[in-house]
Amino acid sequence: MTKISPEQLRSHRWFGQLTMRTYNHRSRMAQLGFERSEYAGKPVIAVLNTWSDINPCHSHFKARVEEVKRGVLQAGGFALEMPAMSIAEPFQKPSPLLYRNLLAMETEELLRSHPVDGVVLMGGCDKTTPGLIMGATSMGLPMIFMPAGPMLRGSFQGQTLGSGSDMFKHWAEVRAGTLAIEQWEGVLSGIARSPGHCMTMGTASTMTSAAEALGLTLPGAASIPAPDSRHAQMAVATGRCIVEMVWSDLRPAQLLTPDAFDSAVTTVVALGGSTNALVHLIAMARRAGVMLDLDRFDAIARDTPLIANLRPAGQYLMEDFYYAGGLPALLNRLGGRLRLDALTANGKTLGENIAGAQVFNDDVILPLEKALASGGSLAVLRGNLAPNGAVIKPAAAEARLHRHTGAAVVFEDYADLQARIDDPALEVDADSVLVLKNAGPLGGPGMPEWGQLPIPKKLLAQGVRDMVRVSDCRMSGTSFGACVLHVAPEAFVGGPLALVQTGDRIELDVAARRLHLQVSDEELARRRAAWQPPPPRYRRGYGALFAERVTQADAGCDFDFLEGTQPTAEPDIY
């Protein structure tokens, strides 16, 4: 690759020109304790760190940022740590997705407004991966992503626990009266026992794996457990790599191609990844000018085998996946299903990066002929109830529910659900279809992870553990069940979901990709004429901006004014 000169570095405008402002910049660097020789003529690397005291997934980032900086220094660069919004998935309300776009905006503007030539993005907790990548893509500087890594396996009384998945499963048993509170407390104490994000194939590992398949990480980076010493080594190597990317002027536009996104979607499906990947990858792709849509997702999913035996669709956890060979081994097994000639961050193609990667446990990373499912681990549904699409994860649902028709039990919003779901008088049976309205991008707001609607307590007592559930919100990637999600348009803006009434018959047919409300067009028209839009959730601040400009789930829930590749002017006074 062609190498740029020190005078072509973006930071040279701040530090190398002979102007009063340039001298002032150097004066302030001296105030920070830096000599000119430390940064002049060298790639200045921003290290965007999403650490905070309330983000357990990133609790090791104080150490990792120093290791990244060490790698930058080893390669002859100059590193500047910059804090960015942490988006702590377990704690941030009403929904972390509400703030993904805010992190993306912060990322883009941090990079545009400061004297940096490239960036290391430190993330992993669910929304940080897409948020950081979306913002850095829009800015267009050389970038590399450093995944937080999964936590260690959970453990309680000899039982292996997976974060999220086993919490939902055991909580259902508490509500059913089959698990004592003391045992429940033991599960909670053992389910998350180290730094790192969820070690199931939830949204975090789905998105960091997608980032690796896109070529935005070093090979194998997404699979390394956070506490493993090799994770620290990867952080140092990431710091070295970004310096080389700057000198080579290797930018996101060269990596984030339609072929790269096809490989990312293929990877997500083969992993049994989170349904949230549809929202995030569509938003990421459109920042890069790639018009990824639900139909492309579904087309790839139909023909891609599910070969990662990982919870919630399978048996094992990310620590096992790493020991079995990690993502490079799975990608190598997929072989020609990927776009192997796509360029990656280290200057090599995806095919070169995975060549020779071996599977060390065929029960964790399955042979193609022994896949958990030959295709369709994610499926996009359409019909009069979801004209713009909805998504289901068939691999994580009971197979008997893949084709089902039942009477709707409707909850107008989440408060209504909480108030009535365990009411003994609730008219519901195992064949009912639970419906939650007004939980989408605007209705939630922020499309919270409420989509794994709880099974009514009286049905749990009867042994029911899965039902068809339909909503316009998301669910955790660690969740499971016959949950139809992301119904678009959402109820809050008058989508057909808003018109559903208790007792209506809803038909689900996964094989036919069909979600149909068995109500006549004439009756739906009558209901629509009577429907009144609810008042806005926000009238000021960021929430009001979100409500005004966010797109629906099928378009990625990004802000409409941030899509595309139209450049924003660089600062012109230095």
Residue indicated by tokens 């990656």: 344
Other CB atoms within 10 A of residue 461 CB? 13
Q: Which two tokens stand for residue 157?
A: 């009384």
C-alpha torsion sign, points 412, 413, 418, 422: positive
Of 426, 457, 459, 440, whose CA–CA distance to 546 is shortest? 440
Of 258, 422, 201, 245, whose CA–CA distance to 348 is shortest? 245
The CA dihedral of 214, 270, 352, 77, to the nearest 10 degrees, is 40
pLDDT category, 574, cuts 50, 70, 90?
low
What distance in Å separates the CA atoms of residue 322 and residue 329, rounded to the nearest whole number?
A: 9
Q: DSSP character for 370?
A: G
What distance in Å separates the CA atoms of residue 45 and residue 119, rounded to the nearest whole number?
A: 5
Q: DSSP character for 293?
A: -
Map out the domains of the chain with their CATH numbers. 42-152+194-354 (no CATH), 155-190 (no CATH), 381-530 (3.50.30.80)
pLDDT per residue over 386-428, tens digit each? 999 999 999 999 999 999 999 999 999 999 999 999 999 999 9
Q: Which two tokens stand for residue 122?
A: 């430190």
**Residues 146-163: what's their mean pLDDT?**
96
Other CB atoms within 10 A of residue 139 CB? 22
Q: 434 has which bridge partners?
A: 409, 469
pLDDT category, 19, cuts 50, 70, 90?
confident
pLDDT of 2 > 80? The answer is: no
Of 461, 479, 453, 395, whose CA–CA distance to 166 is shortest? 479
Residue indicated by tokens 């068995």: 518
To the question of pTM greater than 0.85 for the whole model, the response is yes
Residue indicated by tokens 């007792």: 503
pLDDT per residue over 370-395, tens digit each? 999 999 999 999 999 999 999 999 99
Q: According to the model, what pLDDT value does residue 21 have?
A: 86
- Cβ pair 11, 117 in contact under 8 A: yes
Q: According to the model, what pLDDT value does residue 326 have?
A: 98
Q: According to the model, what pLDDT value does residue 368 have?
A: 97
What distance in Å separates the CA atoms of residue 308 and residue 365, rounded to the nearest whole number?
A: 5
pLDDT category, 18, cuts 50, 70, 90?
confident
pLDDT per residue over 493-512, tens digit each? 999 999 999 999 999 999 99
**Residues 476-491: what's their mean pLDDT?**
97
- Looking at the chain, how many residues does it have? 574
Q: Using CB atoms within 10 Å of the CB of residue 41, give its burial: 0 to 12 exposed, 13 to 18 middle, 19+ buried.
A: middle
Cα atoms in the 13 Å half-sphere on the side-chain side of 434: 29
Q: According to the model, what pLDDT value does residue 71 have?
A: 98
- For residue 49, report the phi and psi dihedrals to the nearest 5 degrees: -110, 120
Q: According to the model, what pLDDT value does residue 20 have?
A: 87
- Determine the residue type at 477: G
Q: For every residue of 166-199, which 3-state class applies, written as one string?
A: HHHHHHHHHHHCCCCHHHHHHHHHHCCCCCCECC
Q: According to the model, what pLDDT value does residue 490 have?
A: 98
Of 380, 396, 483, whose CA–CA distance to 439 is shortest? 483
Of 203, 52, 30, whose CA–CA distance to 65 is shortest? 52
The CA dihedral of 71, 74, 75, 79, to the nearest 10 degrees, is 60
pLDDT category, 174, cuts 50, 70, 90?
very high
What distance in Å separates the CA atoms of residue 90 and residue 95, rounded to the nearest whole number?
A: 10
**Cα–Cα distances in angstroms (integers) from residue 348 to residues 35, 343, 360, in the given order:** 35, 6, 24
**Residues 106-123: what's their mean pLDDT?**
98
Q: According to the model, what pLDDT value does residue 302 have?
A: 97
- For residue 205, report the phi and psi dihedrals to the nearest 5 degrees: -70, -30
Average pLDDT, the chain: 97
